[in-house]
Structure 1
Amino acid sequence: MPVAEVGAVVLDCADPRALAGFYAGLLGGTIEGEGDWVDLRVPGGPVLAFQETPGHVPPRWPSPDHSQQFHLDLTVEDLDAAEKEVLALGAKPLDAEDRSRSFRVYADPAGHPFCLCAC
């Protein structure tokens, strides 16, 4: 029997509501809360929580001096179609060079890396 289960994946950021809105546009779900802590309840997945962190400095990818700290792997049916949608939501590509891989790396509006992965 496990000792614990995932309660939430928490992302530090400057604007919790805005970043929750980005991920709601990407994953669906319901945004709950205001102020310095906002939850996104994703159907069938863990809660994503967004915590206001004054002076937040986003990670740099790739950089051994400024570690990415964590990232999300998000599976999609069509990488090209999903890419258009995440860019429209405000994501920024981090590795546009290699289009032959089964994944692509982006940064959310607060600078956290995430990957779109072909299923």
Structure 2
Amino acid sequence: MAVAKLGAVVLDCPDPASLAAFYAAVIGGTVESNDPEWVSLTGLPGTQLDFQRSPGFVPPQWPSDDGAQQFHLDLTVEDLDAAEQQILALGAKALDAADRSRTFRVYADPAGHPFCLCAC
């Protein structure tokens, strides 16, 4: 029997409101906040995504031999090329997207967290 259930995934970042707006544009949901230090993306199926202000935030390096990326999000899409154009226009940065034969591509959100677009 499990001890707990997953309540939320929380991303540290320098600007919770703007990062929540980025993810709302990418995956949907509603940005909710009563506190500039903590913003939630609600109304999505599955686990809630939250954003917490971290004044000393240093984005993970991908790839890096000096340290792990810690974690990343896999986002499934029907059309990799169309989704890529949209996320880049929203402020994402390509990290490993040159190999068009793969079923995934790696990007960083505006705060530097790695995420993948994955063909479904």
Calculate the TM-score normalised by the size of structure 1. Answer: 0.95
Indicate conservation of the 8 Å contact 1:42/1:48, yes or no: no
Q: Which residue of 1 aligns with 2:53?
A: 52
Contact 1:12 1:52 in 2 (8 A): yes
Task: Give the superposition deviation at 1:42.
Answer: 4.1
SS in structure 1 opposite 2:116? strand
Q: Following the alignment from structure 1 to structure 2, what is the Cα–Cα distance between the partners of residues 101 and 70?
A: 20
Relative to the length of structure 2, the TM-score reads 0.94
1: distance between equivalents of 2:43 and 2:27?
A: 7
1:8-38 CA distances to partner (integer Å, 9 max, x unpaired)? 0000000000000000000110111131111
Distance 1:42 1:67, change over 3 A: farther
Cα root mean square deviation, aligned: 1.0
Report sequence identity in percent. 70
> Which moves more between the two structures, 33-42 or 14-23?
33-42
Alignment match, 1:2: 2
Q: AA paired with 1:39?
A: S
Partner of 1:79: 80
| C-alpha distance in 2 between matches for 1:81 and 1:109 | 19
Aligned residue pairs, count: 119
Runs of 4+ in 1 over 6 A off after TM superposition: none
Distance in 1 separating the partners of 2:4 and 2:116? 26
Matched, 1:107 2:99: no
Residues 37-82 of structure 1, C-alpha deviation per residue, up to 9 Å, x if partnerless? 1110142121101010012100110002132111000000010011
Q: Does 1:37 align with 2:3?
A: no
SS in structure 2 of the partner of residue 97 of structure 1 = coil
Most deviating of 106-115 and 45-54: 45-54
CA distance in 2 between partners of 1:20 and 1:84 (Å): 19
